[in-house]
Amino acid sequence: MLKGFKKAATILLAAMVLMVGLRGTTVKAAGDTVVIHVKNNAGWDSMNVYNWGDAGETAGVWPGTAMKEEGDGWYTHTLPAEADLNLVFSTANGTPQSNNVDGVSKSIGECWIVVGGEGEENDLGVKGAQAVLYEKPEEGWPVAAAGEAAEAVKDETPATGDVSSIMPVAMAGLGALGVMVATFRKKKDN
């Protein structure tokens, strides 16, 4: 009888460990975002960023999201890097706009784009300002501090004392263990 109890307890413990592993907490790392810096050489009064692709419109619907001014004609915005980025820049009302900047790698982490000059027509036939992608900054260009890039990422790590997804599994396991102990005692008494 004790052998059967040990076997059942071992199976229950293994099931609990498996459930905890499957229901683990997701934590986003700094590599899950791309910091975009845009130099406004087009002389626009504002700068919006629009992104589309496999992850959807992660900067909102057209004309996208207003970018934060960094000074000296630079703007910045941080996007989630769920898939490679396809970018267009515009003013707040969507016109004028830049040409497309397609296929920006989600693993780039940080990039610089200079908007200005005459560009090509985009896939919708709209001729926009030229937008040139740089993977490394030139001297004097803004660079996100490590802390700034980390702040842009939502930290989903549970704080001390938070009830995480393990609690339902643990409670079910304790309940099942209690039923097994009661059954074992009842059979032992008989």
Alpha-carbon gap, residue 138 to 177, rounded angstroms: 64
What's 92's DSSP letter?
Answer: T
* 42 vs 56 pLDDT, higher one: 42
Per-residue pLDDT band at 76 (split at 50, 70, 90):
very high
Please list the alpha-helical segments (H only) found in 35-112.
Answer: none
Res. 6: pLDDT tops 90: no
Res. 155: pLDDT tops 80: no
Residue 73 Rama label (left phi>0; alpha psi -120 to 50; beta): left
- Mean pLDDT, the chain, integer: 75
Percent of the chain with pLDDT over 70: 56
45 CB-near residues (< 8 Å, 6+ apart): 91
The CA angle 25-83-139, to the nearest 5 degrees, is 105
Residue at 113: amino acid letter? I
* 94 vs 176 pLDDT, higher one: 94
Which helix (H) or strand (E) element contains residue 90?
strand 85-90
Distances from the Cα of 101 to the Cαs of 19, 128, 143, 145, 151, in angstroms?
43, 11, 20, 24, 26
Res. 73: pLDDT tops 70: yes
Q: What is the pLDDT of residues 104-130, one digit of tens each?
A: 888 888 999 999 877 666 666 666 788
Phi, psi of 177 (to 5 degrees): -65, -40
Res. 44: pLDDT tops 90: yes
Please list the alpha-helical segments (H only) found in the chain.
Answer: 2-22, 146-151, 166-189
Phi, psi of 6 (to 5 degrees): -60, -40
Report the C-alpha dihedral over residues 121, 126, 128, 134, rounded to 10 degrees. -60
User: CB atoms < 10 A from the CB of 79, how many?
Assistant: 21
Q: Which of 57-61, 110-114, 161-165, 181-185 has the highest mean pLDDT?
A: 110-114
